[in-house]
A and B are shown apart, each in its own frame.
Chain A
Amino acid sequence: MDWFISQTISGLTLGGVYALIALGYSLVYGVLKLINFAHGDVYMVGAIAAFGTACAFGWGQTADEYVRSGVMLAMLAVAVVSCLGLGYVIERFAYRPLRRAPRLNSLITAIGVSFLLESIFQLPGVFGASPRGFPQCELPLGPIRLAGATVRLEQLLILGGTLFFLLVCRYIILHTRTGLGIRATSFHHDYARLMGVNVDRITSLTFLLGSGLAAVAGVFVGLYQHQVDPLMGVNAGLKAFTAAVVGGIGNLAGAVLGGILMGLSETYIAGSAFSAFRDAFAFALLILILLVRPGGLLGSVAPEKV
């Protein structure tokens, strides 16, 4: 039982991070029908930006709770702002010129941007090839015992934070004009344009929203895992993308569901005697779900208008 509780909490935490990243994939796919392979690297940039901020403010060296909280907010702010900028630049200069080109081109450009970000950050002058430790900070409470299981306070904080940002995202999508624009644009570019939606602006905003969520995920992982490196986006991106597809790409609730599912199943398997089969299982699950429900768990395959 305690095994189950602690693994479930770990799985939910990991799943929350996946969900935050998966939302970015799903949002962009919805609007542009583009698999944005550079998204995982935006997440990496978010984590590194938070790392830079934490180092600059000497986080972890001070014991003052107020200073700590302030620095933590600053980390979030810097990470989000830098990812928003990056997201905008990528969309404006790498994807927008290709709006009318075959989709394969945007795919290749996305991969090019991804390589570019990874190799730039691997340069010794920029960040370097090796991982670096995130400055550490003792939280006031140690591990919490819950029905015999150990739960870390960070895990609960991250779970709460993830939930908060998911709700913010939901609010934006469902209750703002921008969200309406995003939904309209996902439905059909030309129809949206006819209804007076500025599709270019909405596409940029979608990228900004996705990048912002990725930045949040980056900060959380930095805090949680105490380690950042320029290639951290590759694996996380691949998993989050898988999660988005499992949930139904283009469907936002699906992205969250897929992320949580992915996190839980990975954690249960990694924490069992079959830990070696973790990734094989995750991808087999992906293919299986696509076979049974081609549109993903919550997605639907709209019949093509003929």
Chain B
Amino acid sequence: MADLRERSGLLTLEESFHLLRRTTLHPTYARAKALVGLTPAAAVTALLDAPEPPNPSPDWATKTPNIPDFNEAYRLFVELQNWWLGRVLTSASPRERLIMLWHNTFTSDYLNVYVSHWIVGQHQMLRTHAYDYSEMSRRIVGDAAMLRYLNGDQSIKGRANENFAREWFELFSLGVGNYTEPDVLEAARAFTGWRISGLTGTYNRQLADLGQKTILGQTGPWEWQDVIRITLEQPACARFIARKLLRSYVEHDPSIESIEAVAALLRANQYKIRPVLQTLLTSEYFFDPTLRGALIKSPLELVVGLASALNVTSIQRQYVAQVMTRLTQEPFYPPTVEGWKGHHAWITSSTYPQRQRFGESFIDGRQVGSSSKLVDDAGKNLVPDVIAFLKQFPDANDADKIVTNVAGALLAVPITTEQHAALLEIMLAGAQRYEWDINSQAAVQRARFLIQAIVRMPEFQLM
């Protein structure tokens, strides 16, 4: 049984890092230090309630779509990626990471949707309602991008398209085994009647099948709202969402008991996420030391996390998109409606070395797999200031301590004595421990050696 009682005591640096890694894309030393000494409840409140600057849609996305050809469509995809990347590279709000969870639940991809305006609309909807699963569910039905992605806009009375109905049950709410094939057919009828008009979906009851339907055991002249209501009443729905939350915040294979405990919280809070997270993220369970480093970073978490740690978040956004694509997380292009599978699927014989090479090159101020320099969006060269990075830690002039502190900031699991010794040797590169001088010119390359050795470790892929 997951122990959801509140964690007693005040947060240590390690616990602060853990909380930041699991909730934000920017688990930096400065942010962790600011949480040290707070109670878990105070820290979580501070994180979740921190003011967020507005995130207006790009101008073009608020106008009626006019996409004459693929070139224009593609130009907008890039704009879309840049708009979002600009946000996640600079916002440390837990909302950004939570939006990724919902984007990976209510998926859609830019090629199938084609009209980037609608993807912006979907993203803004998920942003606004990220802390309310029930509201998101109601709104996703008539979401323009979703209507196009799963053919809801082609589904009318007498000619129901089953695509959305099936994925609604399987991937958005209940999971396999909690509904029947007739439920899919009947729900497909109830989801008829939607069309896309300009930027949004519109419901036309005259096109909808208003006849009697039996869905999950309930019979009536159900329309789309009824399907959502009936679905969310199912205990399986709360379990399904609980599992997703646990996978994102705590561990990849939570026990049935943990899932039930969080599902009960979801039901008690009418699927509001904020109170559920407040309990979960302050719990003994969440801070269980054996669960530190139990998750594998997504490409987004890897890339933004490193850029943030080294204070180069002005990095060219399309470079980030390119790296994420190579690491199999192309922004706004999940491989299937199931979304990115995540966890072990992130790591293959191909992506693992790419992750290592990305990190090493980044620290040198180079783009991976080329001799090109890292640049910002204006084309100006960016070189991570590794000395400034090291100088933020106390005792930066103590070689032993700097290794400990840098590893503590960049790795979610403690290093062993042997690993510490090896990292120290790599950093010193032949020099003696007492010769380490953070202010000397020779320290720059040595600092790079240290950070590069750390990003090559498998531990660096964990969070």
Physical interaction between A and B: no
Which residues of B are interface residues toward A (Cβ below 8 A)? none
Which residues of A are interface residues toward B (Cβ below 8 A)? none
